[in-house]
Amino acid sequence: MADTAAHLEFTPAIEAETADIYARLKDKVSPLEWQLQAPLIHAINRLKAEMNAVILAHNYMTPDIFHGVGDYVGDSLGLAREAAKSSADIIVQGGVHFMAETSKILAPQKTVLIPDLRAGCSLASSITGEQVRLIKQKYPGLPVVTYVNTTADVKAETDICCTSANAVQVVEHIAAEWGVDTVIMLPDQFLARNVARQTHIKIIAWAGACEVHERFDAQDIADVRAAHPGVVVLAHPECPPEVIAASDFTGSTTAMADYVTHNKPKQVVLITECSMADNVTAEAPGVEFLRPCNLCPHMKRITLQGIYDSLRYHQYEVTVDPELIPRAALAVQRMIDMPPLKTPARYDMVKARHHVDVEMIS
């Protein structure tokens, strides 16, 4: 039977050894909660050292994971890069299943664990490799750009992957490389529509969406502006275009965090998953984070207890069909090999307010 936090005693020694972590979490974690979390955090960090394991923690992880046990934290692109170069024997994915698959694709010789097999993704489940093959038959001669939020079989049918951090860069690069003016971009329709407003390249899109970001609308922003005049609104490019047009800044989770820590607005709202604001708070003292935000039920399946059990009992290992790995790895590696941006990618807000149609795949 798995140990629980109650079986891991909160001792003065553990309190002292985790004091620096609690200093970053004290605004989000009560002293009583910390007595339950600190023993798990201490035990996880000890197991990592013993097992030569690392934890990749996405920006949507809860603060106890993000600040307490994450060895590498950030957005999908940053975590993919860390997976590719990590010297660890074991990678524990603090994120959803497609992220764990991506780690396995980039590091097939390593053991990749995910604490909960139910941690899926609405985007990743919206399209299959077979559907991508049919799309390529319908639009021969056009490159396929696939969001990294996809399964391994989809990546294997892809010419190059992208994340929200480099989507515009990737679309323009692959169009120039292929000598075309049109690119197929899968599967997030809203990311595709927002990219179309940033580039002259024509976009053919799939009707997938993130269940967290598609729920936002322009009225959410109007309401928060009415209640808090002067608030700065930062949005993720998986949101609908009308949300982007009503915002002050749009960029990946890393770009949003960078904006807050460098500009330190008095009040800010992050139009994305709720834990994002909780994690940035530690880096931006004095900034007031307002809602709305939406919770990702899949990300929230990853818990400290689950990570502890994953390491202690070697569960649950993520595997990828060996026949898919070379092709999927090529698409992901092409994304990683793109010239790094000097600053985290952001969307031109003047362009974002222009209407540009995309062709939807029927």
Domain definitions of the chain by residue range = 12-122+298-317, 124-211+329-360, 218-290
Residues of the chain where predicted confidence (pLDDT) is lower than 70: 1-7, 343-344
On whether 293 is known to bind a ligand per the annotation, the reply is: no
Q: What's the pLDDT score for residue 18?
A: 95
CATH architecture group of domain 218-290: 3-Layer(aba) Sandwich (3.40)
On whether 253 is known to bind a ligand per the annotation, the reply is: yes
**Residue 204 identity (one-letter amino acid):** I
Q: What's the pLDDT score for residue 83?
A: 87
Task: Measure the CA–CA gap between 163 and 131, rounded to whole angstroms.
Answer: 20
Q: What's the pLDDT score for residue 344?
A: 62
Q: Please state whether the peptide bond connecting residue 187 to the residue before it is cis, i.e. omega within 30 degrees of 0.
A: yes
Q: How many CA atoms lie within 13 A of 360 on its CB side?
A: 9
On whether 294 is known to bind a ligand per the annotation, the reply is: no
Task: Measure the CA–CA gap between 138 and 135, rounded to whole angstroms.
Answer: 5
On whether 319 is known to bind a ligand per the annotation, the reply is: no
On whether 67 is known to bind a ligand per the annotation, the reply is: no
On whether 147 is known to bind a ligand per the annotation, the reply is: yes
- Closest of 3, 89, 9, 74 to residue 42, by C-alpha: 9
Q: What's the pLDDT score for residue 1?
A: 40
Q: What's the pLDDT score for residue 28?
A: 84
User: Which option is the CATH number for 12-122+298-317: 3.40.50.10800, 3.40.190.10, 3.40.50.2300, 3.40.50.1000?
Assistant: 3.40.50.10800
On whether 355 is known to bind a ligand per the annotation, the reply is: no
For domain 124-211+329-360, give the CATH number: 3.40.50.10800
On whether 273 is known to bind a ligand per the annotation, the reply is: no
Task: Measure the CA–CA gap between 150 and 48, rounded to whole angstroms.
Answer: 28
On whether 239 is known to bind a ligand per the annotation, the reply is: no
Task: Measure the CA–CA gap between 156 and 332, rounded to whole angstroms.
Answer: 9
On whether 58 is known to bind a ligand per the annotation, the reply is: yes
Task: Measure the CA–CA gap between 309 and 68, rounded to whole angstroms.
Answer: 16
Specify whether the CB–CB gap between 231 and 330 falls below 8 A. Answer: no
On whether 162 is known to bind a ligand per the annotation, the reply is: no
Sequence-ordered list of residues with C-beta below 8 angstroms from that of 173, at least 6 positions apart, any chain? 160, 338
